[in-house]
Amino acid sequence: MAAIGFIRLEPYDGKLSRTVLRGGKDSNALLLPDYASVEMLHHPEFAGMPLAVGGDPEARHGIVLTANYIAKQKGVKTGMALWQAKQICPEIIFVPPRMDLYLRFSKMAREIYSEYTDKIEPYGIDEAWLDVSDSRNLKGSGMTIAREISHRIKYELGVTVSIGISWNKIYAKLGSDYKKPDAITEFNRENYKDRIWQLPASDLLYVGRQTNKKLQKLGIRTIGQLAESDEKLLESHFGKIGNVLWAFANGWDEDPVCKEGYEAPVKSIGNSTTTPRDLENDLDVWIIQIALAESVAARLRKHGFKCKTVEITVRDNRLYSFSRQIHLRQPTNITNEIVTAAFQLFKDNYKWEHPIRSLGIRAADLVLDDIPVQLDLFGNQEKKEKLEKLDRTVDEIRRRFGYFSIQRAAMYQDKVLSHLDAGTHTIHPHSYFHG
């Protein structure tokens, strides 16, 4: 029987209390740190205060990406507009997201996990599943391993974790939400009906707000009621996802935890902008796409990723928008290769019926940059290496002297567009369903 766990990182409040729910010997766990926990660690002056990550520190715009437990207890929720959070919790402190810092903590946490198993599957930046079934003879039971990891995360990284343990991924993730903060919860085959089936159906993975409303109309309010429902009835109302939710509620999830390898912990890195003025020709688009591609490629290199897919988004001044993507022959983090692919996508799919107001570029299907690659017989490997070296030199110059200290000549063909500082990135975590 598998042993799987799910872990989340949280702020350390200096106390060593922990809630432990004991279960059977066979378990699976999921573990990792969230943004708020890392920010609390780096802002000790905010200890005991409600804090949320999202938007700018002055709360002029944006949404709540995550909040600490103090803020959540006052009603602040993920996805809430900052002004709404301020109304609910006037004393709340907002800090802007720092993806560099979160990725660094994610990497350090996974280095600890890798000492217990090579089956580590990230679920976004701040969570992951671990299958420790093969480690029990050496490291002990799932509960023993969970306690040891919890202790190490606390004293080596300075944050706490909530860990869920079960024989499948769905119940392991549910366990990490069951008791927080600084808790370990085990759902096994003996206790899951007593503990899980009484929980609201909305606690189950992929039961969102709209799905939950539909379930309530069918008289289904708990996970147990969902598990005991007629599968055909759920399929008729929800399609294939109805079968999935029914299986999840019953704990019939046989999806394995993927081995740690070359898969990146995030799904994609993208950047988009509403342009300083409407774009009216190909040169305008080229200038903006260079700026976007530079920022996306720089982030890929900084975190050790390459992309196998490039996607563009285009929105004209009449608010018509579309997205297109292309799969690359080889993974890349080279600016020139990304912008060339993006511009060709644009040329192939836009006929200039109206000026353009917004552009975006997204690097998707990420892999780690040391993945073995079959060399292209018809490509110029020496040129690729020179381009990547040039990009890294530009990265270092901008790190030391600022974004505008060095620019491509093409950017000087338009004074207005060349002043765009494409420094904002969107990082998309991996979801449970791949692809």
Is the backbone of residue 91 left (phi > 0), alpha (psi -120 to 50) or beta?
Answer: alpha
- Cis? peptide before 276, omega within 30° of 0: no
- Residue 29, token pair as written in the block: 């766990």
Is the backbone of residue 325 left (phi > 0), alpha (psi -120 to 50) or beta?
Answer: beta
Residue 400 neighbours by CB distance under 10 Å = 8
Sheet strand arrangement including 66-67: 66-67, 51-53, 93-95
Spatial CA neighbour of 93 closest among 152, 46, 133: 46
For residue 417, give the amino acid letter. Answer: L
Residue carrying structure tokens 């429902």: 229
Q: Which residues contact 53 (CB under 8 A, 6 or more apart)?
A: 35, 36, 39, 64, 65, 66, 67, 94, 95, 96, 97
Q: Which stretches within 114-259 are classed as H helix?
A: 136-139, 142-152, 169-178, 192-195, 209-217, 223-227, 231-238, 240-249
CA distance 143 to 25: 8
Is the CB of residue 274 less than 8 Å from the CB of residue 358? Answer: yes
Is the CB of residue 27 less than 8 Å from the CB of residue 141? Answer: yes
**Phi, psi (degrees; rounded to nearest 5) at 4:** -125, 140
Residues 10, 121, 127, 311: which is the catalytic one?
127
Which of the 8 DSSP states describes residue 409? G
CA distance 24 to 187: 8
Query: CA Rg, the chain, in Å?
Result: 24
- The pairing of strands 321-332 and 305-316 is antiparallel
Nearest 5 degrees, angle CA 381-CA 383-CA 384? Answer: 65
State the burial class of residue 237 (Cβ atoms within 10 Å of its Cβ: 0-12, 13-18, 19+): middle
Residue 10 annotated as catalytic: no
Binding site annotation covers 182? no
Q: 3-class SS at 350? A: coil
Q: Which stretches within 254-375 are classed as H helix?
A: 282-302, 335-349
Residues forming the annotated binding site?
Answer: 126
**Among all residues, which ones are annotated catalytic?**
127
Residues forming the annotated binding site for Mg(2+)?
Answer: 126
